Amino acid sequence: MNAARRENETAPVNRTVVERRSDRELVITRTFNGPARIVFDAWTKPELLKRWWAPKSLGVTLFSCDVDLRVGGSYRFVFGHDEARSMAFSGTYTEVAPHTRLAFTQIFEPMRAAGEGLITVAFDEQEGKTQVVSHELYPSKQVLDGAIESGMEGGMRATLDQLEELIAALQ
């Protein structure tokens, strides 16, 4: 057995913690084994987002990813099982503090009438590891309930596992 494999088998597994804090708020916390610079880049650079953002284990692909990373800039992620029946999330960046904080609005385009959510992501680096805390404020209790019922939590956990693998590969 090689040393890298042995180290990987004994390395602690980072858990994703999902906590519903109110009728409209979800908080997701995960620590990644890498510096905030790499984690932030993976959240904001299209060429890196395409490598982790959609849950591949569930057969989902990120077909396109457009990012204008600046306050007032927009983003749009098109994904799905089949490009002909794809869906998209889009929004506008309201805060961009490289390697420490990112805030943006988010609309699930197939349900645009449900309103937009507000997401704030903090990147806190300690001793070469980065804790990411995402506060997601949904437009209503019904929208958050629907997101949870859709299986979003399982997909999110799968994508964050993929992000962990990408961060390891980028170091």
This prediction's pTM: 0.88
* CATH for 14-170, options being 3.40.50.720, 3.30.530.20, 3.65.10.10, 3.10.20.30: 3.30.530.20
b/e map of 145-159 (b: 16 or more CB within 10 Å)?
eebeeeebeebbbbb
The three-point CA angle 119-156-164 to 5° equals 100
Task: Give domain limits for the chain.
Answer: 14-170
Residue 58 CA to its chain's centroid (Å): 16
pLDDT in single tens digits along all 171 residues of the chain: 334 433 444 445 789 999 999 999 999 999 999 999 999 999 999 999 999 999 998 899 999 999 999 999 999 999 999 989 999 999 999 999 999 999 999 999 999 999 999 999 999 999 999 999 999 999 999 999 999 998 889 889 999 999 999 999 999
